[in-house]
Structure 1
């Protein structure tokens, strides 16, 4: 006698579940998709990127996760493609979410979400809008950054703010280490903000762009070291692009060297780092990078063609130039 109403109730509950189309990539995409599923959101489609064979893939795979959960994924090159627009129009999702997807979504696509379109950005908006915000924050010597869940708008990272969480950037943190903190922060934000987003009670804070900043993408060439700069700036560059990113590099003796690991020398002594020339040098079998302010980096790991260069080998190469 009770089976039929129970089944009807379950069917009604399933039909009332919130549906979403998700644009996602990277570890943040993986963790946020898992969070949506844990909160009962029905993901009808995931739009992601094909991995670039020229890029070091050190992060988790959205495609692999979706295969595990039986979620369809597609990898269109253009999110404004008419066929994608038509597909999403047929799905008629309640929500569109973007989690570290690398393309801007057109306004016409965002309007297909019946109850809202939201993005997870890796900075404390309105600061560091745009591309690779973690790398830019480290490069500029910030002591904290964070993650922001916000409404999507025509301009990048310009919509109203739903929630933010800050994370520290410690003096020796690399962008890779900070990104790990942001991945956790993104999951936390989404977990705690989703209930109010789904029931329509979320409070939206103004995103005052006049108080923020915008930055574009970075290229491997941007990692070239200018040894005439102060040591702190050179160290920040290293931290911002250290492996698994392409790395800060310098060219000497006809070779290209990439800094794998380094620390800023905090105390100069007459025995090892005083009066170092600008650029790479070896003192007492230790590699240093002399900078424009007379300070230096202690280079713990130096790479050439992906292989570690020893202090003795570098000394020989420098002597031969």
Structure 2
């Protein structure tokens, strides 16, 4: 079996390794150049390709359509997408002789679109997962090939949950590869009416609003905790990144639960929220640090 792989991030590295272990011939990898303005804390697909003498390219989104003649000539059995950030044109998907498959970081049809792990935490979900599905022109809309759920703990950050999702993605690939190697693609309907699509997030979306409930603020902090851009507030004319919070208490009796915002009591920092509940800020730092 031969494949062309579009890949980036830890999921891209680990799933590509799984394909190589299974003996799939990788004719080409399409990945991204690292953004100098982004905190790159994850594994490098380009480095893995260099180590394994796999040809790779880093085209811009506008250059993808120009790859069609090359991919038609390669005629791969499969096209895989593992956390590749650009929409892949339908003309490219059609170059796969058997199927074009994408790994998505949620339990489809839930949390289609961008930043699925972050959105799931932001909405207080207790589980998410990894789903391998058929790629169509519409994002995350094709039939489901296989998926695996993982839990989301009440205090886990996006980075911690993403590690679980990355492991689940590898397990999904491992489980389904025997069928794929025989040209069989399991599939079940992806009922889009049972889920929602979410767009990308920007650093400005991390602003804390104290009129929200304590749990909503806590979930925001977890969803964007560093190495993501972080939840932030302005305190004493300084922008602060709130990196870790707790809802557990016990909380001091001295707290004024009717006054929203930051309160410092006994050298501990608390945020008073719109439901007149407190959360403790366990870690914060100036944004310029």
TM-score bracket, normalised by the shorter chain, equals over 0.9
1:102-251 aligned within 5 A = 102-251=85-234
Moved more, 274-283 or 105-114: 274-283
Work out whether residues 247 and 278 of structure 2, in 8 Å CA contact, stay in contact via their aligned partners in 1.
yes
The CA deviation at 1:107 is: 0.9
- In 1, the alpha carbon distance for the partners of 2:22 and 2:285 equals 45
Q: Provide the C-alpha distance between the structure 2 equivalents of 1:186 and 1:208, rounded to a whole number of angstroms.
A: 21
* 1:278 equivalenced with 2:260 (yes/no): yes
Say whether residues 1:295 and 2:277 are aligned partners. yes
Q: Distance in 2 between matches of 1:168 and 1:64?
A: 31
Give the C-alpha shift of residue 61 in structure 1.
0.5
Rounded to whole Å, the distance in 2 between the matches of 1:188 and 1:115 is 21
Matches for 1:245-264 after TM superposition, within 5 Å: 245-264=228-247
TM-score by length of 2: 0.96
Task: Report how many aligned residue pairs link the two structures.
Answer: 289
Going from structure 1 to structure 2, the CA distance change for 1:275 and 1:198 (only over 3 Å counts) comes to: same
Correspondent of 1:47 among 14, 21, 30 = 30
Cα RMSD for the two superposed structures: 1.4
CA-CA distance at 1:277 after TM superposition: 2.8
User: Following the alignment from structure 2 to structure 1, what is the Cα–Cα distance between the partners of residues 191 and 63?
Assistant: 27
Name 1:70's counterpart in structure 2.
Answer: 53
Distance 2:52 2:183 in 1: 27
Question: What TM-score do you get using the length of structure 1 for normalisation?
Answer: 0.87
1:315 maps to none
CA distance in 2, matches of 1:169, 1:95: 32
* Aligned residue in 2 for 1:305: 287
Q: What is the CA–CA distance in structure 2 between the aligned matches of 1:76 and 1:151, rounded to whole Å?
A: 23
